[in-house]
Amino acid sequence: MLKNLNPDITDNMKYILGLFAVILLAIICTIFLIVPLNRDRNAQASKLNEENKRLAVLQTFAGQNQNYDALVKIQNMKVEAAHKKIPDTVSVEELLHEYNKIAEATGVQLLGIAPAKATKEGTALALPINVSLQGDYFRLITFLQQVENGDRFVVVKSADYGAQALGADLKLKADFVVYALKKVEGAPLDSTKKNDAAAAKQSIAQRNAAVKKATQ
């Protein structure tokens, strides 16, 4: 191409024009080839970086929970322990059996328990109980400690010791409060419930008498 140029053009001009053509071609290649390739490479690098971050998060989670079954087991044990502290249902018979076992283990005598009316405290039912015991002072203290520190959540409100004759065992009356989430069995009914129960019994008796009279 350069040979067909005007013969008056010197060799230096030919070299300059050739160099200009090379530079122009390099610019065109840069604009249409290298720049798009660099843009794609940066986009791929950014995407790879995001994927690496996500992978790092997953690896961290997996490392923290590699013993997932053991973690679930521990959580279930905690839930069960909390449920023992405050179960759904508390029965006076169950408490009597429980306190009898503690009394036998500590060497004191359980004389009896007297439950009062259950009351609502927040989302739980509170059952006050008066417990009568007899035994050595230190063993009575051990009984109270085992009740208070046992699986069941118990509040020891008071502990009153009776007068002791020389060489005789102490008598102790303690007020406990135990809790249930849903139901208390064996506790005294309040007056309205007693009246409702009495009215229901009377209604049944009247109905039975009427049926018996009609069939005679």
At residue 211, the pLDDT reads 45
At residue 49, the pLDDT reads 81
Judge if 168 and 103 occupy the same domain.
yes
Judge if 172 and 96 occupy the same domain.
yes
Judge if 25 and 122 occupy the same domain.
no
Judge if 15 and 88 occupy the same domain.
no
At residue 36, the pLDDT reads 74
Judge if 48 and 95 occupy the same domain.
no
Which residue ranges of the chain lie beneath pLDDT 50? 1-3, 5, 191-197, 200, 211
Judge if 184 and 98 occupy the same domain.
yes
Instruction: Let me know if residue 211 belongs to a domain.
Output: no
Judge if 18 and 62 occupy the same domain.
yes
Domains contained in the chain, number: 2
DSSP 181: S
At residue 68, the pLDDT reads 59
* Positive or negative torsion for Cα 183, 187, 191, 197: positive
Q: How far apart are CA 151 and CA 84, in angstroms?
A: 6
Judge if 178 and 152 occupy the same domain.
yes
At residue 165, the pLDDT reads 67
Backbone dihedral region for residue 107 (phi beyond 0: left; psi -120 to 50: alpha; all else: beta)? left
Judge if 35 and 117 occupy the same domain.
no
- CATH number for the domain including 173? 3.30.70.60
Please report the DSSP string for 76-96 in residue order. HHHHHHHHHHS-SEEEHHHHH
β-strand 154-161 against 170-180: which pairing, if any?
antiparallel
Instruction: Let me know if residue 77 belongs to a domain.
Output: no
* Range(s) of the domain holding residue 25: 1-67
At residue 51, the pLDDT reads 81
Q: Model pTM?
A: 0.53
Judge if 37 and 99 occupy the same domain.
no
